[in-house]
């Protein structure tokens, strides 16, 4: 995509990110101090990759060392409040918190063996309780700085309940209650060190580092060019480009706000130039960018957690996510197409679009993703190894054009190492030679991925991991409070009692919980909370485990485009200079599939490939697509002409019936939607005949 399409300058984008994306409000480091801070962050990335690939440490060494490292760089990066920051400045109190918080976790690392023995009999010294309190508070403060207050409010509510439980229900004194909570939340693997942090340290960070490297290959521009070539010339082409490119870029970035700003800086001005209103243009980008987190194969960080919670391989999760993701983006695409037809919008002139030849020349950029998907889905290598070797591939494909000889040989040797039947010794030699050629490719004067950019990608990966690690830590605290107090069973009882055991009522209540708790809360943390509280409710009323987790995952995501706290929609509105609330409502309308698909999963788990076959999958896909088309007609009020209110009701009702699983509903839905389509086609023919006469 040429620069002429990008009508939003870098300063304006940075301002939008700082306003709507908490992670963008960071300290300003310049000169040697910047390189020193970046050096520390790059070292943390290397440390995490090393531990993931090679270390066989105790849990009380591995996870506290990870959190301690994240705390250290977290306080180097995130200031106490938003606003203009002094260059190369960190206040004394931040240094104190950073040192004390990091020291608290490394105290556990140093004394891991002794603590492992003593924790079995709850023999924890008084000063160790104070150390634990400092560690918990340091993580909470870092989470506030990096992700915002909403998740902290949720965690505080659960902590208050836990204190009430131990003091008011169990009758413990204040000190004993504090001691019990601190041991559970800080030292045991029931709190901070529970599933979210374990998954984060083992998998998520390595994939975030991979994403940082992948972005530096220029793959985002390639995705935008690919989408332009495929759909740019069609009616309302720029909006369709936004849907396709945001789906592809969003699966890599894992951030709905970040993706809205990155791809939206190109697509939103394009949409506005071709006639879309700002509220609609910003909404299209926000809805598509938010959906990027459900787009296989990467799906943001929450997919790794889901694999652990559900107890299935990660490759199983991404396979089951394909059909729901396809229907989500199909729903947005249909609405965009109907809106374009309603407004009579044209596409982009083909002379301005990338040629097929230019795209074919860039196909090698997809190699790291192809390698990653193959290794993860085949199960021949660990996920951490798959991400690490894919990082190496990002380096060589980046330099393939500028340094073809070492890069090409490097790719060849790496492919031989991965796929040829070599013995261990020969394989090690081939791998080392491939890595050596990769390093040589970076040293060439005209290399695209230079050592400096490699270093920057490592630092960026660590920086991007801070907020996720902090959110996972807080999610662990919430899960710990729920586990230690038995709150989960009480919540289940209350919702089942309110719903009277009726599935639809329980689903609606769960949906509301996910959306409310997800407003302003990162997807990863929101999913952890929902997986601990709401997913068991759905399982209790008979919904299969995998479908229940997909249900809460989807509704946690759509919080980013659901008013009143629709951060992705507000970011899109800021770029489009449009009304934020109108943009948010438009985004919600466009993403209606995200509100329907989870119910489809709950009533027909075949959507996520539970107890199904190929024929049934084809039927579900066909009827669901037809249903999404009916719903799209109803929402847009258009098909071959404007629909009157009666036709909109018939189209919407028929669409919902087609989406709902069942032979009878499919027949009725097909009749209703087909009837509306036939009626409008006849009207169009009559109008053409009248015009000709």
The 10 Å CB-count burial string (b at 16+, else e) for 75-108 is bbbbbeeeeeeeeeebeeebeebbeebbbbbbbb
How far apart CA 498 and CA 486 sit, in angstroms, is 19
Q: pTM for the full model? A: 0.84
| Per-residue pLDDT, 247 | 76
Give me the mean pLDDT over the 126-149 stretch. Answer: 91
| Per-residue pLDDT, 6 | 47
Residue 3: pLDDT band (50, 70, 90) is: very low
Q: Return the percentage of the chain with pLDDT > 90, whole number.
A: 17
| Per-residue pLDDT, 603 | 83
| Per-residue pLDDT, 67 | 95
Q: What is the pLDDT of residues 458-506, one digit of tens each?
A: 999 899 889 889 988 988 898 888 888 888 777 777 777 777 767 888 8
How far apart CA 188 and CA 197 sit, in angstroms, is 13
| Per-residue pLDDT, 20 | 59
How far apart CA 231 and CA 219 sit, in angstroms, is 18
| Apex 59 CA angle, 57 and 63, nearest 5 | 100
- What's the whole-number average pLDDT of the chain? 83
| Per-residue pLDDT, 196 | 86
Give me the mean pLDDT over the 23-41 stretch. Answer: 86
Residue 107: pLDDT band (50, 70, 90) is: very high
Residue 307: pLDDT band (50, 70, 90) is: confident
Q: Return the percentage of the chain with pLDDT > 70, whole number.
A: 93
Give me the mean pLDDT over the 40-68 stretch. Answer: 91
Looking at 123-137, 207-221, 489-503, 635-649, which range is the least confident one? 489-503
| Per-residue pLDDT, 4 | 41
**Structure letter (DSSP) for residue 87:** B
Residue 7, pLDDT > 60, answer no
Three-state DSSP class for residue 638 = strand
Residue 302: both structure tokens together:
């929450």
| Apex 176 CA angle, 174 and 178, nearest 5 | 65
Give me the mean pLDDT over the 5-31 stretch. Answer: 65
Three-state DSSP class for residue 642 = strand
Residue 66, pLDDT > 70, answer yes
Residue 670: both structure tokens together:
């097909």
Residue 75, pLDDT > 90, answer yes
Q: Where are the domains of the chain?
A: 12-189, 198-300+324-453, 616-693
Residue 88, pLDDT > 50, answer yes
How far apart CA 597 and CA 595 sit, in angstroms, is 6
Give the CA count within 13 Å in the CB-facing half-sphere of 684: 12
Looking at 124-138, 289-303, 614-628, which range is the least confident one? 289-303
How far apart CA 243 and CA 227 sit, in angstroms, is 8
Residue 180: both structure tokens together:
């019990």
Q: What is the pLDDT of residues 521-557, one digit of tens each?
A: 667 777 877 787 778 878 888 888 888 888 888 887 7
Residue 190, pLDDT > 50, answer yes
Residue 407: both structure tokens together:
């890069």
Residue 292: both structure tokens together:
């990027």
Residue 131: pLDDT band (50, 70, 90) is: very high
Phi, psi of 122 (to 5 degrees): 55, 35
Q: Which residue has the higher pLDDT, 379 or 22?
A: 379
Give me the mean pLDDT over the 427-444 stretch. Answer: 88
Angle between helix axes 59-77 and 451-485 (nearest 10 degrees) is 120
Cβ–Cβ < 8 Å for 508, 501: no
Cβ–Cβ < 8 Å for 130, 180: no
Give me the mean pLDDT over the 365-387 stretch. Answer: 83
Distance of CA 481 to the CA centre of its chain: 25
Looking at 69-83, 116-130, 189-203, 558-572, which range is the least confident one? 558-572
Residue 139, pLDDT > 90, answer yes
Looking at 249-263, 401-415, 488-502, which range is the least confident one? 249-263
Cβ–Cβ < 8 Å for 341, 625: no
Residue 22: pLDDT band (50, 70, 90) is: low
Q: Which residues contact 181 (CB under 8 A, 6 or more apart)?
A: 159, 162, 163, 166, 484
Residue 404: both structure tokens together:
């073809």
How many other C-beta atoms can be found within 10 angstroms of the C-beta atom of residue 259? 30
């Amino acid at each position: 995509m040429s620069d002429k399409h990008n009508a939003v300058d870098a300063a304006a984008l940075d301002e939008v990110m700082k306003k709507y994306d908490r992670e963008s409000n960071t300290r300003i480091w310049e000169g040697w101090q910047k390189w020193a801070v970046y050096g520390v962050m790059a070292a943390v990335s290397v440390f995490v990759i090393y531990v993931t690939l090679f270390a066989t440490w105790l849990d009380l060494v591995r996870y506290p060392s990870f959190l301690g490292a994240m705390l250290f760089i977290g306080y180097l990066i995130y200031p106490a409040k938003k606003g203009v920051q002094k260059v190369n400045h960190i206040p004394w109190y931040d240094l104190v918190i950073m040192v004390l918080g990091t020291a608290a976790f490394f105290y556990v690392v140093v004394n891991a063996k002794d603590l492992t023995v003593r924790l079995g009999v709850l023999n924890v010294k008084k000063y160790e309780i104070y150390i634990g309190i400092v560690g918990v508070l340091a993580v909470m403060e870092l989470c506030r700085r990096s992700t915002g207050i909403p998740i902290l409010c949720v965690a505080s509510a659960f902590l208050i309940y836990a204190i009430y439980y131990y003091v008011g229900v169990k009758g413990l004194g204040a000190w004993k209650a504090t001691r019990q909570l601190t041991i559970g939340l800080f030292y045991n693997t029931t709190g901070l060190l529970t599933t979210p942090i374990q998954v984060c340290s083992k998998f998520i960070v390595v994939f975030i580092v991979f994403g940082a490297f992948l972005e530096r290959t220029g793959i985002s521009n390639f995705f935008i060019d690919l989408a332009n070539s495929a759909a740019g010339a069609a009616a309302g082409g720029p909006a369709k480009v936004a849907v396709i490119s945001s789906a592809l870029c969003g699966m890599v970035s894992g951030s709905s706000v970040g993706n809205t700003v990155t791809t939206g800086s190109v697509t939103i001005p394009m949409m506005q130039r071709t006639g879309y209103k700002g509220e609609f243009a910003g909404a299209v980008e926000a809805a598509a960018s938010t959906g990027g987190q459900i787009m296989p194969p990467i799906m943001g960080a929450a997919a790794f957690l889901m694999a652990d919670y559900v107890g299935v391989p990660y490759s199983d999760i991404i396979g089951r996510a394909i059909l729901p993701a396809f229907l989500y983006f199909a729903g947005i695409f249909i609405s965009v197409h109907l809106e374009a037809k309603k407004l009579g919008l044209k596409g982009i002139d083909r002379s301005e679009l990338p040629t097929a030849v230019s795209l074919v020349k860039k196909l090698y950029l997809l190699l790291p993703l192809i390698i990653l998907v193959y290794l993860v889905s085949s199960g021949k290598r660990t996920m951490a190894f798959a991400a690490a070797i894919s990082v190496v591939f990002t380096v060589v494909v980046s330099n393939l054009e500028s340094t073809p000889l070492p890069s090409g040989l490097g790719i060849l040797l790496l492919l031989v190492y991965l796929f040829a039947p070599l013995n261990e010794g020969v394989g090690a030699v081939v791998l080392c030679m491939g890595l050596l050629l990769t390093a040589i490719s970076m040293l060439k004067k005209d290399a695209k991925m230079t050592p400096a950019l490699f270093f920057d990608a490592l630092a960026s990966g660590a920086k991007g991991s801070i907020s996720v690690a902090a959110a996972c830590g807080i999610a662990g605290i919430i899960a710990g409070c729920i586990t230690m107090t038995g709150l989960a069973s009480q919540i289940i009882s209350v919702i089942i009692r309110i719903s009277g055991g009726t599935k639809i009522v329980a689903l609606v209540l769960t949906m509301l919980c996910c959306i409310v708790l997800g407003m302003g809360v990162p997807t990863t943390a929101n999913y952890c909370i929902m997986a601990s509280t709401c997913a068991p409710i759905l399982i209790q009323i008979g919904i299969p485990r995998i479908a229940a987790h997909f249900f809460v995952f989807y509704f946690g995501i759509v919080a980013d485009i659901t008013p009143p706290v629709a951060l992705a929609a507000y970011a899109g509105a800021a770029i489009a200079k449009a009304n934020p609330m109108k943009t948010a409502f438009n985004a919600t309308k466009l993403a209606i599939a995200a509100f329907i698909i989870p119910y489809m999963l709950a009533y027909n788990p075949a959507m996520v490939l539970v107890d199904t076959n190929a024929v049934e999958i084809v039927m579900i896909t066909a009827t669901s697509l037809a249903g999404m088309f009916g719903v799209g007609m109803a929402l847009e009020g258009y098909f071959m002409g404007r629909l009157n209110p009666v036709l909109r009701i018939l189209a919407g009702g028929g669409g919902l019936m087609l989406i709902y699983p069942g032979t009878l509903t499919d027949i009725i839905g097909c009749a209703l939607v087909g009837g509306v389509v036939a009626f409008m086609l006849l009207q169009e023919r009559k109008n053409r005949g009248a015009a000709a006469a």
